[in-house]
Structure 1
């Protein structure tokens, strides 16, 4: 069976209280979920979010609090990374990236300067310069500290490969963009407004139905949307808390994923330090809380399923650890003894 590798990005700089050391590569035991370290690639500042192309030959990283993206080649036998090249993203603090449906373009969102860049992907996997930036504009939300700019936070491609969606933490909206391949620029197609002060952060999509789910950072809620797959428009269906009703402390939402069966939504809560599991109503698309499990470490900024969705791995940014849960047939999570010590983990992606 082909080796399975995990790539872990981290925060490295004092401004992020970073104790990471770059990107670490692990070989994964498919039966136990165990991590075995195979490479450390240093000399990288805040490689905070990663993406792998469909072929599994190339990995891409943005660098938090910086202004660049890096392309890496992957040795598919050993999992080792080698730097191909680096390109400016045209803005400050790029926080997320995603390839288009053809793998020909890499879209990057600049959180600190409210812009989107499209970088062509070359034949060798390297990145070419962007041609034109897309400026993200809108009305700012009411939070005087967290909503001082548009703060676009995420830019995943939907399941049909037609629209990139950008939740804007600073403007309480989610904007859909289509890619103009000739001009190499993203063009707004639709937008939806969230509750004032909600601060939409991350979005994921149902694998079969025209549904999308957004985790709102500041008010710790999840909003369900109906998606018009032709226009990109989102229509809200429901908003529910991402933390238990009895929790009265401070918490912010971080990450959201759906399982591939389309039965559950999973979210991470920083402060409550938990993963929440929500069942999807098969008829309505709305959510019902099912379980919360502790992340056994502070600030679960990110989590991911392994490709078989047998395990769920949580990256505790301030807990400096990756903890493991087994995913049951009913969607519930059970703790596993697998735990990896790693400084300030921010993202985990798996080889294909």
Structure 2
């Protein structure tokens, strides 16, 4: 990858069932100083390429396809940033919703939201996806919500900072399950689990860069839970739960995305309904959270957000607002409004080519 160029890859929802107005994957050249996006490619013919991942070298892109049953690999031209389909593989289930690399970059782990399973797809030397060997069923008691907890609904499967455990927040069963990857057999094995509050709906998880702490955004009750992690067993122990929206907000909202900044000083979350990004300070001693700021996302349904590799900017993907909106990361991690805005149909995910010497999120 040309180290002097920064590219952004944006996945989207495309189908009528998802009220999708997207058209596939769009590629942008990014100005690292101003944060501006310039469109350079549109790859069509893809249904709901809803979540994306880049390998550590920035030479291969991968996607899962919402409401479908496959994952796709793509080549990346190192000079232009353009992508092309390399191959596809079944994920073994319905509605794959997230994907993450193992610590070696030799496996891609995928969670099937619609059919309660996870799979480890081997990655060949050319970056192509191989077939999974064994599908791991995700089982847990269901939560009480009659609409949103009809099945376990595994929603996210990132690797922790030590590269040992994949954590799976299960929206339908109010729990977070940790798995280790048996590389010899290519299968995920449960290692630990922790129960959340009934109808919390754990959705996404992120980890402190240096301390044994994890943070989970709970979708259904719009809260954030802080967990202590046992580095040996991977077991999570809850420490605190706080609302992800302001105390004076009385409307309906659901939590979506969560990130911990590189310095380990702040947790960022997105709220769909309140349509905001919340910034929460991390107590340096306890690891618990205190709200610092909420900024409007200037568009509906902020499903996803991401920092650029240097963490100078934070970009919000407004799925319902057909836009990407940028904020400058100011002093202390507070968000400063900018004029950065990109029109794109139903954006669902944004990933950036890596900076020299830096690994993408999930491989640090």
Q: TM-score, normalised by structure 1?
A: 1.00
Any idea what SS the aligned residue of 2:4 has?
A: coil
1:189 to 159, 175, 191: 191
Total equivalences in the alignment:
352
- 1:253 Cα deviation after fit: 0.2
- 1:199 Cα deviation after fit: 0.4
- 1:230 Cα deviation after fit: 1.1
1:302-321 mapped onto 2 (5 Å cutoff): 302-321=304-323
Once the two structures are superposed, residues 254-301 of structure 1 have per-residue CA deviations (whole angstroms, 9 ceiling, x without a partner) of 000010000000000000000000000000000000000000000000
Partner of 1:258: 260
- 1:330 Cα deviation after fit: 1.1
Once the two structures are superposed, residues 66-90 of structure 1 have per-residue CA deviations (whole angstroms, 9 ceiling, x without a partner) of 0000000111211000111000000
- 1:31 Cα deviation after fit: 0.6
2:83 to 81, 84, 87: 81
2:37 to 32, 35, 38: 35
Partner of 1:113: 115
The 2-side partners of 1:229 and 1:165 are apart by 13
The 2-side partners of 1:19 and 1:305 are apart by 24
Partner of 1:301: 303
Partner of 2:291: 289
The 2-side partners of 1:327 and 1:26 are apart by 20
Partner of 1:160: 162
Q: Which structure 2 segments of 5+ residues have no match? A: 355-364
The 1-side partners of 2:12 and 2:128 are apart by 22
Any idea what SS the aligned residue of 1:330 has?
A: helix
- 1:175 Cα deviation after fit: 0.3
Partner of 1:220: 222
The answer on 1:60 being equivalent to 2:54 is: no
Partner of 2:105: 103
Any idea what SS the aligned residue of 2:209 has?
A: coil
Runs of 4+ in 1 over 3 A off after TM superposition: none
Q: Which structure 1 segments of 5+ residues have no match? A: none
For the aligned residues, what is the CA RMSD?
0.5
The 2-side partners of 1:182 and 1:4 are apart by 36
The 1-side partners of 2:85 and 2:4 are apart by 23
The 2-side partners of 1:2 and 1:209 are apart by 32
Any idea what SS the aligned residue of 1:152 has?
A: coil
